[in-house]
Amino acid sequence: MIEGAVTDQLGPYRVKITRKVNFDEPNVFPAVNGATVVISDNTGIVDTLNQVGPGIYETNSIVGVAGNTYTLSVVDQGNSYTGQSVMPQPVAIDSISIDYFLFGGRIQQSTLK
């Protein structure tokens, strides 16, 4: 399993890589160590991540920018895995509404603007 994210917040960003286990085995997923992990973007920036812990890889220089396309490449034991995503533009929130109630009680509503 490969998990990671690039955001528009300051990095470094992390990628966690683990191996799958059989269905009848405990849900303890072994860390993947020694993989080559690279994040690049559509502007030509390429960042080879450093392993900082068991199965944990960290960026060095890439900075997340809304609208950019990011590609994650992982090579482990001769197998290559690649994923790509576009970071969406931020969405402004104009209000938040929360509905809550007590079981058997009356419904209350609260709105923040």
| Whole-number pLDDT of residue 108 | 57
- Looking up residue 67, the CATH number of its domain turns out to be 2.60.40
Task: Taking residues 33-47, report their average pLDDT.
Answer: 96
pLDDT in tens, 70-80: 999 999 999 99
Domain residues for 59? 2-112
CA–CA dist 20, 30 (Å, integer): 8
Q: What is the pLDDT of residues 12-23, one digit of tens each?
A: 999 999 998 888
pLDDT of 104 reads 62
How many domains are there within the chain?
A: 1
* Extended strands (E) in the chain: 2-4, 14-17, 36-41, 46-48, 50-53, 56-58, 69-76, 79-86, 96-101, 107-112
Model confidence at 83: pLDDT above 90: yes
Q: Which residue has the higher pLDDT, 106 or 53?
A: 53
Positive/negative CA dihedral, 84, 90, 94, 97? positive
Prediction pTM value: 0.78
